[in-house]
Structure 1
Amino acid sequence: MRYRRLFIKRMLCISCLFPVLLSCANSSSSASTSSPAGTSTTVVPSSPPEWKKCGDIECASISVPFNYASPELGSFTLPLTRLRALDDDLRQGVLLVNPGGPGAPGSSLAQNAAYYFSKDLMTHFDIVGWDPRGTGASTPAFDCGDSYNDFFANERTVASTQKFVDTCKAKNPEIISYMSTAASARDMNTIRLALGEEKISYFGFSYGSTLGATWATLFPDTVQGAVFDASATPNSTSAERRLTQAEGFEKQLTAFLAQCSKNSSCAFHNNGKAEQAFDDLLATEATANATVVLTATASSLYDDSAWEDLAQALKSAQDGNGQPLRDLYNSYYYQDAGYEDSRNVSEASIATICDDESQRMSTAEVDAQLISFTRVAPRFGNFFGRDYTCSLWPTQKSSQEQLKISSTAAIVVIGSTNDPVTPLASSQSMSAALQNSRFISVSSSRHTSYLKNSCATQLVDAFLIQGTMPPSNSQC
């Protein structure tokens, strides 16, 4: 179970923690930048994907233009993977799947389908994953270099952010303007066309909800059915979403520390004074600086099953060994062994978020709004609020085309009552923006609910397989 927990946590939530915890969902989805890729232009693939055997699954690739309005500018090559339906006689089509992000590759979902989806879904659908533009093994990939600690492990300053942004621009001149959610949503339609399907089903976790909602807004008639598990508030700014997240993580951290103070079995019990011990650890920075401590801590708050490991890591740091916290930090940024192909996740995430953001604040405005962050999140406020990246991003916000999330497609949205990343109200707002959706509320402190809650899993499977919409405002 540990592998499944860590695998899902890492893949679903990867972008939510860029020490400015950028956002698990860029819900103000715009079209691309420069010359916007956000037109209704459709590019029909010249030929279907050439599938080949890749272990237990099939793999292929597809080309999509940088800019759908100007295909001659160049193209991305996106890896595709497919696990065929387990029963050909029961097959109901394609389930396109996305693990979250933005910035996270999704081609591994077919190979690891059993960790994400029920056997019923695998029986009835071809599970198709892909690496979105600029991510994972797609080419060209958005990559700003390997010196993560120079930027990610330290408190943000305007100067350090400008240096990072300049590096990103220098290393990705061709594609920096073409990483938007809207462009990626159009890639989904190109994938559908390449597969020869009139309609497809979709399952998106976390940011995958925003991507799916953008696709359903642009191409509602191609949606057979869609499920969004844990959504950010649609049509909001990144600052608004980060403020919501700061408050959510602060509440989750408070709950974790209160539990540690109450239970003597908690490794970070500290004679019932876990809260003070945590604050002391942040203040002294004896074994790890505050940014590393907060990154490691927040990365463990998505799911309360990770709290025990977090408590052990904090206790080790308190005892003079900061390596467990640094391991959590490195794991979050894919800096540990075995994840070399995913080490551009954070850069791709930033590129997408900033390309999506049409209401960018100046650096002075970022500083001015910090007080609102620290008011709702004394520990996490600066961590979430001090984000100069999109303020300094080199693409032109004036050329971005706003896309308001709204769709008549059949969609089910799931939200958890105590999700710190995408709070219940955020998922409810997503459902409200989708005219033909149903909402499932899950009593849980975890980010995402499918396969973690049997009630929600059964309702989702009935919807995707039988087309049975859940009762209005279902509670699990």
Structure 2
Amino acid sequence: MVLALLAAVTPGDARAAQPAGTGSIADAIAWGPCDPEDEAPDRVVCGELEVPVDWSRPGGSTITLALAKLPASDPSRRIGPLLINPGGPGGSGVTFAYRAGESFSDTITDRFDVIGFDPRGQARSNVINCDSDAVSAQGDVLYPHSPSEYAALRAANKALVKTCRDLSGPLVKYVDTASVVRDMDAIRAAIGERKISYYGVSYGTMIGQQYAELFPDRIRAMTLDSNMDHSQSIADYQKWETLAMEDSFLQFTAWCDRTTACALHEQGALAYFDDLYARAEAGKLIVDGFPISPELLVSLVFGYMYDPADWFYLAEDLIYFGNGGGSGARHRGEPTPYGYLPVMCSDFRFEVGSYRNLRQLEKEQNRLAPHTRLSPIAWTDLTSCQNWPYPVTNPPHRLHASSKLPPILLANSRYDVATPYQWGRSLASQLPSATFLTYDGVGHGTYWLSDCARAAIDTYLVERRLPAKGTHCPAVFPESPVTLKSGSGNPLTPGLRTVSAG
């Protein structure tokens, strides 16, 4: 089993050997100025760490991880390092660290050295590039409606992966989360710490979960916010994501009905959307000369479900689509960063085999969600991984929680379009040391959605004092456009205002 093999490999080198009873050894990373083109904030420093491409062959070829650190602003009260990851897969931990001063409260940045790293294959850490023509070709067939379209999808997927391998080398086969976790422990060893604190959100929770599984005695504190669940089957993965999409969207339409400042308040957002969807199904939703598919329409809505602060814009964009306005031209034929799929297709078993099986699964999702039909993110995760030529190196499984784990704080929104609430509840059942905090509102990343959740997370990370079991934070909804967040530091909001119709 891959995890057992990886667990037998000692990460790092002699720097990982630490004297018993000491808190830390010397930091072996040469921290210094960041890339001038990045325009990193004052006090942020950057560094690099070399790690094996394949952790089962630590003496083989290597890659270089990019890191950034915002040192604690109150060094006399410094607790230690807080490693962070903003999710994705593909989110930049370096950029997250650049923004730590605005993303996290002073409570965190006063007391911790906030350290972000770009996971292998992402951003500045040997980014995986694929051909943009192949990416576009795949994007055109991600919703097959016939056996021939399904065959075209499988061919497009295989062709895409070949371009990734041609442009980026063998790393495309070694970007699974278990390898990222090994990298993170190598960072811990290199900075000379016996234990680390960690905050991970979205996909960053999977990094934290598997770090807890492999290195339970190297954690001081860990908050996992908006949780994925690696134990999900294909059917459950689709089911909970589909329901999360539908339920989140119905929260939006209910909000619009009671909020006079919503641009669709008078028309009724649900009826308006259903009409747009019917026009799209009939091929009659034309935006700036381009036909808009039902799937593209739902994808527009999906991006706005990450943060209700943007819902005023969603209502305006739906009207814009209804009136035939549009935007966007697509650039093709160049290398483009595309590290998301190699991770997902290495971490989950998504192969369904035949078009018949895929179509049956689609029908099941459509019955669950009569308005939105499918979760765009879950469905394209599934279809993009069909005919993936490399093995699943980090297969789905329930976590094997150790008795050595310290108390861990989990947090999820009740309505989260990307990481459903049920995933968080499932994860809590796999981690006996965990306390589960519920934010009763809508959105992704409770730390930036709820003052209540942020305060609980800050208190736990600094003091290791957990909220009472069963704690719920009240929902927060926008009241007028002037309440829209600006510069909130939320690294998760997609920032979608329009969708390319090309």
Compute the displacement of 1:118 (Å): 1.0
- Tell me the alpha carbon deviations over residues 32-80 of structure 1, each in whole angstroms, 9 at most, x when there is no partner: 8xxx973431232477221112342100111111211112442221100
- Tell me the alpha carbon deviations over residues 171-224 of structure 1, each in whole angstroms, 9 at most, x when there is no partner: 324122211111111111011001110000000011111110011110000000
Question: Does the aligned pair in 2 maintain the 1:82–1:126 contact within 8 Å?
Answer: yes
Question: Does the aligned pair in 2 maintain the 1:85–1:124 contact within 8 Å?
Answer: yes
How many equivalent residue pairs? Answer: 428
Greater alpha carbon shift after TM alignment, 181-190 vs 274-283: 274-283
Question: Does the aligned pair in 1 maintain the 2:84–2:116 contact within 8 Å?
Answer: yes
Which runs of structure 2 are paired with 1:134-213 in the superposition (5 Å)?
A: 134-139=121-126, 141-147=127-133, 148-152=135-139, 155-157=142-144, 158=150, 159-172=152-165, 173-213=169-209
C-alpha distance 263-442 of structure 1, shift in aligned 2 (>3 A): closer
Question: Does the aligned pair in 2 maintain the 1:62–1:191 contact within 8 Å?
Answer: yes
Compute the displacement of 1:420 (Å): 2.6
Give SS of 1:52's match: coil
Compute the displacement of 1:263 (Å): 5.3
Distance 2:259 2:408 in 1: 41
Equivalent AA in structure 2 for residue 192 of structure 1 = R
C-alpha distance 385-451 of structure 1, shift in aligned 2 (>3 A): closer
| Pairing partner for 1:415 from 409, 412, 424 | 412
Question: Does the aligned pair in 1 maintain the 2:352–2:386 contact within 8 Å?
Answer: yes
Distance 2:93 2:445 in 1: 16
Q: What is the match of residue 58 of structure 2?
A: 71
C-alpha distance 46-135 of structure 1, shift in aligned 2 (>3 A): farther
Q: What is the match of residue 20 of structure 1?
A: none
Distance 2:65 2:413 in 1: 32
- Tell me the alpha carbon deviations over residues 129-157 of structure 1, each in whole angstroms, 9 at most, x when there is no partner: 01001001111x22222234433255434
Which runs of structure 2 are paired with 1:85-96 in the superposition (5 Å)?
A: 85-96=72-83
Question: Does the aligned pair in 1 maintain the 2:305–2:416 contact within 8 Å?
Answer: no
TM-score by length of 2: 0.78
Q: What is the match of residue 105 of structure 2?
A: 118
Q: What is the match of residue 387 of structure 2?
A: 392
Distance 2:386 2:341 in 1: 12
Q: What is the match of residue 449 of structure 2?
A: 452
Q: What is the match of residue 291 of structure 1?
A: 295
Distance 1:430 1:111 in 2: 30
| Pairing partner for 2:425 from 428, 434, 437 | 428
Larger Rg: 2
C-alpha distance 164-358 of structure 1, shift in aligned 2 (>3 A): closer
Q: What is the match of residue 11 of structure 1?
A: none
**Does 1:368 pair with 2:360?**
yes
Question: Does the aligned pair in 2 maintain the 1:234–1:433 contact within 8 Å?
Answer: no
Q: What is the match of residue 132 of structure 1?
A: 119
Give SS of 2:122's match: coil
Compute the displacement of 1:237 (Å): 2.8
Compute the displacement of 1:382 (Å): 7.7
Distance 1:358 1:280 in 2: 33
Distance 1:317 1:170 in 2: 34
Distance 1:268 1:161 in 2: 40
Compute the displacement of 1:260 (Å): 3.9
Equivalent AA in structure 1 for residue 286 of structure 2 = A
C-alpha distance 242-276 of structure 1, shift in aligned 2 (>3 A): closer
Equivalent AA in structure 1 for residue 388 of structure 2 = W
| Pairing partner for 2:321 from 317, 324, 331 | 317
Question: Does the aligned pair in 2 maintain the 1:247–1:377 contact within 8 Å?
Answer: yes
Does 1 or 2 have the higher relative contact order (CA < 8 Å, sep 6+)? Answer: 1
Question: Does the aligned pair in 1 maintain the 2:277–2:297 contact within 8 Å?
Answer: no
Give SS of 1:96's match: strand
Give SS of 1:204's match: strand
Q: CA RMSD in A?
A: 2.7
Compute the displacement of 1:231 (Å): 0.7
Question: Does the aligned pair in 2 maintain the 1:95–1:202 contact within 8 Å?
Answer: yes
Compute the displacement of 1:447 (Å): 1.3
**Does 1:242 pair with 2:235?**
no
**Does 1:267 pair with 2:233?**
no
C-alpha distance 37-153 of structure 1, shift in aligned 2 (>3 A): farther
Question: Does the aligned pair in 1 maintain the 2:154–2:386 contact within 8 Å?
Answer: no
| Pairing partner for 2:308 from 301, 304, 308 | 304
Distance 1:419 1:312 in 2: 22
Q: What is the match of residue 434 of structure 2?
A: 437
TM-score by length of 1: 0.83
Compute the displacement of 1:240 (Å): 2.2
Q: What is the match of residue 49 of structure 2?
A: 62
Distance 1:132 1:138 in 2: 6
- Tell me the alpha carbon deviations over residues 10-41 of structure 1, each in whole angstroms, 9 at most, x when there is no partner: xxxxxxxxxxxxxxxxxxxx958xxx973431
Question: Does the aligned pair in 1 maintain the 2:205–2:224 contact within 8 Å?
Answer: yes
Equivalent AA in structure 1 for residue 78 of structure 2 = R
Give SS of 1:271's match: coil
C-alpha distance 231-391 of structure 1, shift in aligned 2 (>3 A): same
Q: What is the match of residue 212 of structure 2?
A: 216
- Tell me the alpha carbon deviations over residues 312-357 of structure 1, each in whole angstroms, 9 at most, x when there is no partner: 111111111122xx59xx8xxxx8xxxx99x52xx31111111012
- Tell me the alpha carbon deviations over residues 77-100 of structure 1, each in whole angstroms, 9 at most, x when there is no partner: 110000000011000100000001
Question: Does the aligned pair in 2 maintain the 1:37–1:67 contact within 8 Å?
Answer: no
Q: Unpaired segments of 5 or more residues in structure 1?
A: 1-29
Give SS of 2:129's match: coil
Question: Does the aligned pair in 1 maintain the 2:138–2:160 contact within 8 Å?
Answer: no
